[in-house]
Amino acid sequence: MFVVGGESLIDLVQEPLGADGVIHMSAHQGGSPYNCAIALARLGNDTGFLCPISRDGFGTYLLGPLAAAGVTPLLAERVPAPSTLAVVTLNARKEAQYEFYRGADRAFTRDGLVAALPAQPRLFQIGGFCPIEAGDAAVWLDVARQALGRGAVLSIDPNVRPSLVADFAAFRRRLDAFFDLVHLVKLSREDLMALDAARSIEEHAADLLARPNCGLVVVTLGEEGSLAFTAAGSARAGIHVPPVFGDTVGAGDSLMAGILTFLAEQGSLQPARLRALGVAELGRMLRFGATVAGLNCAARGCNPPTRAEVDAVLAAAG
């Protein structure tokens, strides 16, 4: 089983201000790990999601897409804490302002998370909010070590959010502890610039590949595509542009799911095989991930494609 650990949340997004002057909000399921788990399942992977789900109505709303995609909630008992909210409002200049109200995503214990891990997970993917709070990070690191001990390949997509971090230097130290543990790191160019704007992408990648376990680094560049680095080579791929464009919500999470799926199917989701990936295979991996991400962008909000949809596009492209 592929296990994804981290937050699920509700995005409350302000609608255009009407004549009544009242702010109206729309609610959407979200959270980077949540999105990635759904994308993995839609691509045909046996997937479990390790995150507490609230007993409230939003919790029920979050469970719907997980069930539809075939994701197994590994913490079956729902929690009394309210669902975590990301509230997006617009200021007078129509610029988005974000406020996070965390609840159920932090309503866990170390023992509860470890007990919910499968006996032999194939992959443990972590990221999102996990490194933000010191206490949470310590628990998730212990869970990751447990998964590693059970034979899992470890991957991380930290989705760096400086606005959520009170002490960025301390956050960097916590993130370094995760980087020292995992086999695969995926970041955006914006993540890297937030961590150290003075270093090039190549310098960041070299630093990560010098860590004890890391064998593959993937960096997303928005409309400019993506890059991949191993000790054996590097590659670059462009984006897949869908016929009709919705938005980019969940594109990075979908790309990550595509990359993990490709590696698993090629027999490369193993520490030694990751380090040995060369230019040709890295290029194919990035193109597969880009196709998954591009198809997700054909809809509004995060809506990852099914495996059949991905295969149809790849077959048409030859």
CATH number of the domain residue 225 falls in: 3.40.1190.20
Are 73 and 52 in contact by the 8 Å Cβ rule? The answer is no
pLDDT-derived band at 53 (thresholds 50, 70, 90) equals very high
Query: What is the percent of the chain where pLDDT is above 90?
Result: 79
Tell whether the torsion through CA atoms of 5, 41, 240 and 229 is positive or negative: positive
40-71 burial code (b ≥16 CB/10 A, e <16) = bbbbebebbbbbbbbebebbeebbebbeebeb
pLDDT above 80 (res 19): no
Is 25 part of a structural domain of the chain? Answer: no
**Burial zone of 148 (CB within 10 Å; 0-12 exposed, 13-18 middle, 19+ buried):** middle
Mean pLDDT of 158-174: 91
Is 267 part of a structural domain of the chain? Answer: yes
3-state secondary structure of 30: strand
Mean pLDDT of 12-38: 86
Query: Which residue range forms the structural domain that includes residue 272?
Result: 2-6+32-51+69-78+108-317
| Helices 168-179 + 134-149 axis angle, to 10 | 0
Are 173 and 199 in contact by the 8 Å Cβ rule? The answer is no
Is 61 part of a structural domain of the chain? Answer: no
Question: What pLDDT score was predicted for residue 200?
Answer: 97
pLDDT above 80 (res 3): yes
Mean pLDDT of 214-239: 96
Is 62 part of a structural domain of the chain? Answer: no
Mean of the per-residue pLDDT values of the chain: 93
pLDDT-derived band at 93 (thresholds 50, 70, 90) equals low
Distance from C-alpha of 242 to C-alpha of 236, rounded to nearest angstrom: 19
Is 18 part of a structural domain of the chain? Answer: no
Is 59 part of a structural domain of the chain? Answer: no
Distance from C-alpha of 249 to C-alpha of 159, rounded to nearest angstrom: 13
Question: What pLDDT score was predicted for residue 301?
Answer: 76
pLDDT-derived band at 96 (thresholds 50, 70, 90) equals low
pTM of the model: 0.94
Mean pLDDT of 46-65: 98
Is 284 part of a structural domain of the chain? Answer: yes
Is 160 part of a structural domain of the chain? Answer: yes
Question: What pLDDT score was predicted for residue 148?
Answer: 98
- How many structural domains compose the chain? 1
